[in-house]
Amino acid sequence: MSMCNGVDGMEFQTIPIMRIFDEDKAKEFYLGFLGMELDWEHRFEDGYPIYMQVSLGDFVLHLSEHSGDCTPGSKVFVNVSDLDKLFVQITTKPYKYNKPSIENAPWGARCFTVTDPFSNRILFNDSADS
């Protein structure tokens, strides 16, 4: 996992939390469509909301069904070293609910956005152009 150098030798890693409402739909999107790995999941007991971590290399997200953790409809900005490769990996999968396209961003980079079933958006940005 890559960490950013911080103050006084401390290292930091940012992990966004995305609000979800349905475990199966979340796994279909994040694991199936985006190709992320399920690192771990937690419930206090059966019938309680799930909290899980998914990752794709150094890109890590927490997904939570807990109502107080975060707000649905959030957006995460992710710099990617090979936007075209990621785009092909994602868009060749048979996921009928999302058909992203690469766009020229106003800041001069190329990017594409995916939207999960809970209106959370992930903007993948070509870091080579930033």
Average pLDDT of the segment spanning 111-119:
97
**CA 118 to centroid of chain Cα atoms:** 12
pLDDT digits (tens, 9 = 90+) for 3-22: 566 677 888 889 999 999 99
Whether 91 is in a domain gets the answer yes
Whether 120 is in a domain gets the answer yes
pLDDT digits (tens, 9 = 90+) for 75-95: 999 999 999 999 999 999 989
Whether 85 is in a domain gets the answer yes
Rounded to the nearest 10°, the torsion over CA 34, 37, 42, 45 is 80
Show Cβ contacts of residue 82 under 8 Å, excluding neighbours closer than 6 positions: none
**CATH number of the domain bearing residue 121:** 3.10.180.10
Residue type for 19, please?
A: R
Whether 61 is in a domain gets the answer yes
Whether 8 is in a domain gets the answer no
Whether 1 is in a domain gets the answer no
pLDDT digits (tens, 9 = 90+) for 19-77: 999 999 999 999 999 999 999 999 999 989 999 999 999 999 999 999 888 888 999 99
Whether 69 is in a domain gets the answer yes
* H or E segment and range at residue 12: strand 11-12
Whether 5 is in a domain gets the answer no
Residues 27/71, Cβ–Cβ less than 8 Å: no
Residues 1/13, Cβ–Cβ less than 8 Å: yes
Q: Please count the structural domains in the chain.
A: 1
Query: What pTM, to 2 d.p., does this model score?
Result: 0.90
* pLDDT in the model for residue 84: 97
